[in-house]
Structure 1
Amino acid sequence: MTATSTSAANGRENGSTGACATSCRSGYGLKVNEEKSAVDRPWKRQFLGFSFYKHRGVRIRLAPKSLKRVKDKLRTLTDRNRSQSMEDRIRCLNAYLRGWVGYYALSDARSAFERLEGWLKRRLRACVWRQWKRVRTRFRELRALGLPEWVVYQLANSRKGPWRMAGGPLNSALGDAYWRAQGLISLTECYEATRQSWRTAGCGPACPVV
């Protein structure tokens, strides 16, 4: 594209933006922030925490800034230095996650939700390991999980830090079933359930085929 055509395209875009802003002000009495407004391809813009991509049309996904914000919030709620029982920690997490999923379930982002859930559970496993400070406590808690004695001995005497332990050795011992028993909601399941409720609300409950 030449400099002349680029300038012309930018001029048309700015003109379209200005026309839309004028229409909104005169027709609806709305104030338009022209610095944040533009006429552009959807996949080049972000809107209310969402971004867009091309796949058989235009689809919705989580904006990178939204993922960063939720991770920052979850880091605060799962801070290992925070003096808080796991029960209270999970209660705070559930309250926050339900609201967050209820908003962002609009996006086509199952894989992003799965990765975020895995990352969150790793942080929680690190919190648990930090709480089990003494070797004696680790032996007792690991045995209560029904692990083989040799695994209990190996894990309880490990000198790895909480984050390293949470990423490997504790992954199976404190897996999905463990967190479900602790009352933690599943991000992925909540995401799917929310989207399914929207689908059935739009077309009525599904009926069995006989």
Structure 2
Amino acid sequence: MESVSDFITRRFKLRVNAAKSKVASASACEFLGFTFTHGQARKRTIGPKALCRLKDRIRELTRRTRGTSIQQVVANLARYLRGWMAYFGFTETVRPLEDLDSWIRRHQHQGHAYGGRAHMEICSRVCMSSQECRRV
């Protein structure tokens, strides 16, 4: 690392931030939210930090105590996910996106976006028992 940073400092007259820089294989580090798999078929995939940040943001947008209508929650979530997919959509592995889709659906059906009581009220309007409502 020192020889590389010395070369960059001498040749290009740039300062190298040692805390942010490292010399490692492509599969061992994350770059702009992507990680690269190793093996014969090298592929771009979404990094674990990016997935954690996305899930945290979804939790924030769909908090029950947020005080917004369902339509507003869905509109905000759709806008955020469209932007996120515009950036990460060209990943070469589909599995993280499928897992993320199922996680979002489960998260929504747990009543986080709709609120516990509101979900029960909707179920009671369509004559569902409380046990059936919990399964939905």
Fold agreement, TM-score > 0.5? yes
CA contact (8 A) 1:52 1:61 kept: yes
Of 125-134 and 103-112, the range deviating more from structure 2: 125-134
- Give the CA deviation at 1:80: 2.2
Q: TM-score, normalised by structure 2?
A: 0.81
CA contact (8 A) 2:5 2:16 kept: no
CA RMSD in angstroms comes to 2.4
Name 1:157's counterpart in structure 2: 130
Task: Find the residue that maps to 2:37 and give its secondary structure.
Answer: strand
CA contact (8 A) 1:51 1:63 kept: yes
- Give the CA deviation at 1:158: 2.3
Is 1:132–2:119 an aligned residue pair? yes
CA contact (8 A) 2:64 2:115 kept: no
Structure 1 unaligned regions, length at least 5: 1-12, 144-151, 171-210
Q: TM-score, normalised by structure 1?
A: 0.55
Q: May I ask how many residue pairs the two structures share in their alignment? A: 133
CA contact (8 A) 2:43 2:93 kept: no
- Give the CA deviation at 1:159: 9.1
1:18–1:34 distance in 2 versus 1, CA, 3 Å: farther
Larger Rg: 1
- Give the CA deviation at 1:88: 0.8
2:8 aligned to 20, 41, 47, which one? 20
CA contact (8 A) 2:45 2:93 kept: yes
TM-superposition CA deviations, 1:88-132 (whole Å, max 9, x none): 111001111111111112322311111111111122222336213
Q: Letter of the aligned partner of 2:124 in structure 1?
A: F
- Give the CA deviation at 1:73: 0.2
1:1-210 map, 5 Å: 13-23=1-11, 25-26=12-13, 30-125=14-109, 126=111, 127-128=113-114, 130=116, 131-134=118-121, 137-140=122-125, 142=126, 152=128, 156-158=129-131, 165=134, 169-170=135-136
Task: Find the residue that maps to 1:122 and give its secondary structure.
Answer: helix
TM-superposition CA deviations, 1:122-160 (whole Å, max 9, x none): 2222233621344xx4232x46xxxxxxxx3xxx32298
Q: Letter of the aligned partner of 2:7 in structure 1?
A: A
